[in-house]
Structure 1
Amino acid sequence: MAATLPAPSSPGRLALYLDLIRWNRPAGWLLLLWPSLGALWIAAGGFPGWHLLAVFVLGTVLMRSAGCCVNDVADRDFDRHVKRTAQRPVTSGRISPREALLFGAGLALAAFGLVLTTNLATIAWSFAALAVTLIYPFAKRYVSMPQAVLGVAFSFGIPMAFSAVRGGPPWELATGGAFSLSAAWASVPPLAWLLLLGNLFWVIAYDTEYAMVDRDDDLKIGMKTSAITLGRFDVAGVLASYALFLAIWTLALRSLVPGWLFYAGIVAAAAQVLWHATLIKGRTREGCFKAFRLNHWLGFAVFAGIVAGYTFA
C-alpha cells in the first residue's frame, strides 16, 4: 500500500502534502468525529472498547484527508477564483492532480485496512460511505443544496458505528461468517438513520456558514451552495438547521442516555447556537468563518453529554 503514496522528497514537499490534507486545520475531521463517536457510545450502551475507538478516530482522520485530496482536484478550476482557496497546493500547481489522487487513494486504502478489522457488515457500509464521499465534490455543480449531500457523507460514520458494534464479531471475516446485504442492513437500526438525519441538519448549518464566507466568489463562478439558494433567509436557515439537529438528537436519545448530564450537553450546544447567531447575523466573512471554524465545540458538547450520561448515571 505504501507504494501508492507519492513520497515527499523534502521538508518543503512534505509541508505541501500536509497542507493538502488540512493537517493544521483539525476542525474538519473533528466535525466528523464527534457524531461518529457519539453513535459508538450509543450503540454500545457506553464505552465501545479501545479497538473500535481507535478504528473510528484514525479512520475519520484518514478519510477526511482523502476527501480533501479528491475535493481539491475536482474544484481546482473553481478554487483559483476564490480568495480563500486560490493558494491550495493543487489549485496553485504545486501538487499535480495525479499526485493528489494517488495520495488520497493511499489514505483511503489505509482507512479501509482499519475497517477490515471490524466485521463484514461494516465493510459493506464503508463502500456506500466512499461512494457518497466521491459524489459530493461534483454535487456543487448540479445540486442547489450540495450541503445536504455533504451532510450524508459527513454522517455516514453513524450507521457504520452501529454496524461495527452490532454487525458481528471482529473475527467474522477470518472465520468465514455468513454474510448478506440484508444482514448488513439489519445491523443498522432505525435509530441510527434518525441520528443521521439529525446530524445532516447540523452539517447543513455549519457548511452554510462556510458557504456564506465565499458567497460573492461562488456567485461569480456559478457554484451552487446553500448560502446562495437560501438568499436573504440564510441566517434563518442556519438557525433552523441547528434547532432541528438538537431537537432530533434530544428526542431520539431521551430514553436511551441515562442521567441529566446528556441534557447539560444539549444546553451547552444550544448556547453556542445563540452565540453563532450573533457571529453570522452581519454576514461578514470573518464572523461566518469564525462560526464555522468553532463548530466542532458544539459537536463536542453533545458528545460529552452522551459520554457523561453513560459514565455517571
Structure 2
Amino acid sequence: MSEASERVADSVGNWVDDLAPDWSRPYLRLARFDRPIGAWLLLLPCWWSAALAGIADGRVGPRIDHLALFFVGAFVMRGAGCTWNDIVDRNLDGSVARTRSRPIPSGRVSVVQATAFMAALALVGLAVLLQFNWFTVATGLASLGVVAIYPFMKRITYWPQVVLGLAFSWGALMGWPAVFGRIDLSPVLLYAGSIVWVIAYDTIYAHQDREDDVLIGIKSTARLFAERTPTILAAFYTAAVTLIGAAAFTAGAGVVFALGLAAFAGHLAWQVRRLDIDDSDLCLMLFKSNRDAGLILFAALTLDALVQHWW
C-alpha cells in the first residue's frame, strides 16, 4: 500500500505526512495527530470551564498552568479514545470509503500494537490528571465509562451523538473543580450547553458518511434528521447558546462576554445557513469551523475576566 493511499481523505497535508518518521506515522494517525480538530473540540469545554472559574473567582483570567495541562490531556486522551474507537470499529472501518485506509483496517497496525499504544497514551493522560486536586481527578476518571461505550452506540441507536456529547463535553465539568474543588450550577449548565453543541456539529460531520452508513447499518443523527437537519441544528445551536450564556452569567460574566456570546451565536447561525448536507467537503469545513466558534467563546470569557478584574 502506498503512502498516499494510507492517508485518510480529510488529513492530507499535515505535519504527520510531511515531517514525522515513517515508523511513527501509523501510530500518529491512529491517535488522529494528523487531524487535530477533534482534540481541539475536546479541549475547548475544558478551557471554557477554566475561564468560567476565573470569572467566578475574580481572577485576571483562567490559570495558565491549568490551560496547559488541559491542552496536553485533551490531545493524548483524544488519541487514546480514537485508538479505542478504531479497535472496536476495525471491521466497519474497512467497509467505509473514508475510513478503510485507517491504520488498523489497512494492516499497518495490529490490534495488539494498537492496544499497547492506547495504554501508553492513557498513562500520559493519567499523569496529567494527577496534577489536579482529588475531586478533579475523580471527576476525570468518571468520564471513562462514557468513552468506553461510545463506539458501540452507533450500532444500537440513531443518537450516538448524544453519547459523544457526554464524552466530549466532560471538560466543562473539569476546569471549575480544578479551581474550587467542587461542581456548582455554572459548570453543569456549561456541560449541558456543550452537549447540544457537540450533537449539532457532529451531525454535520456525520453527513459525510451518510450513504455508507446506510449500506453497513450504522445509525446517526445525520440519518435520523436527513433533510430536516438545518432546522433541527438551528434548535440545538439555540439551546447551546442559551445554556452556555446562562452558565456564564450565573458565574458573574458581564458585557464583554455578552458581546462574545453574540459572535459565537452568529458563527453558529452562519453554519446553519451555509449547510448543504449533500456536499461532503462543505460539511467537513463547517464541522472544523467549530474550533473557531469555540475559541471566540473562550476569548470572550477570558477578556471578560480581565476587564472585570481591572475595572
Question: Does residue 141 in structure 1 map to residue 136 in structure 2?
Answer: no
Equivalence map 1:107-122=2 (5 Å):
107-122=121-136
Structure 2 CA distance for aligned equivalents of residues 98 and 268 of structure 1? 46
Offset at 1:293? 1.6
Question: Share of identical aligned residues, percent?
Answer: 36
Q: Displacement of 1:257 after TM fit? A: 4.4
- Which position in structure 2 is the counterpart of 1:286? 281
The Cα of 1:130 is off from its aligned counterpart by 1.4
Quote the offset at 1:282 in angstroms: 4.9
Q: Distance in 2 between matches of 1:111 and 1:251?
A: 31
Unaligned ranges ≥5, structure 2: 1-19
Query: What is the TM-score normalised by the length of structure 2?
Result: 0.87
Look up the match of 1:75.
89
Counterparts in 2 of 1:258 and 1:190: CA distance versus 1, 3 Å: closer
Q: Is the 8 A contact 2:50 2:63 kept in 1?
A: no
Q: Does 1:193 align with 2:188?
A: yes
Which residue number corresponds to residue 238 of structure 1?
233
C-alpha distance after superposition, 1:237-277 (max 9, x if no partner): 22211111011111232253444221222122222223212
Separation in structure 1 between the aligned mates of residue 94 and residue 256 of structure 2, nearest angstrom: 46
> Conserved in 2, the CA contact under 8 Å of 1:19 and 1:88?
yes
- Supply the distance in 1 between the matched residues of 2:223 and 2:70 (Cα, whole angstroms): 34
d(CA) in 1 for partners of 2:151 and 2:190? 24
C-alpha distance in 2, partners of 1:286/1:237? 21
Query: Superposed, which structure 2 residues align to 1:155-166 within 5 Å?
Result: 155-166=169-180
Which of 189, 214, 217 in structure 1 is aligned with 2:209?
214
SS in 2 for 1:92: coil
Aligned-residue CA RMSD (Å): 1.6
User: Is 1:35 equivalent to 2:30 in the alignment?
Assistant: no
- Residue 102 of structure 2 corresponds to residue 88 of structure 1: yes
Hey, what does 1:12 align to over in structure 2?
22
Change (3 A) 1:282 1:162: closer
Moved more, 255-264 or 157-166: 255-264
User: Of residues 56, 60, 65 in structure 2, which corresponds to 1:51?
Assistant: 65
CA displacement 1:178-198 (0-9 Å, x = unmatched): xxxxxxxxx111221111111
Separation in structure 2 between the aligned mates of residue 208 and residue 90 of structure 1, nearest angstrom? 25
* 1:58 positional shift: 0.9
Give the SS at the match of 2:174: helix
Deviates more, 1:81-90 or 1:259-268: 259-268
- Per the TM alignment, residue 303 of structure 1 is displaced from its structure 2 partner at its CA by 0.9
- Match of 1:56, SS state, is helix
Letter in 2 for 1:268: A
State whether residues 75 and 137 of structure 1, in contact with CA within 8 Å, keep that contact through their aligned partners in structure 2: yes
* Structure 1 residue corresponding to 2:33, chosen from 19, 23, 26: 23
Please list every run of 5 or more consecutive structure 1 residues that lacks an aligned counterpart in the other structure. Answer: 1-9, 168-186
Normalising by structure 1, we get a TM-score of: 0.87
1:7 corresponding residue in structure 2: none
Q: Structure 2: how far apart are the matches of 1:71 and 1:216? A: 20
One-letter amino acid of the structure 2 residue matched with residue 66 of structure 1: A
1:199 aligned partner, one-letter code: S
Aligned to 1:250: 245
| Runs (4+) off by over 4 Å | none
Letter in 1 for 2:116: L
1:265 aligned partner: 260
Structure 1 counterpart SS, 2:46: helix
Q: How many residues are matched?
A: 285
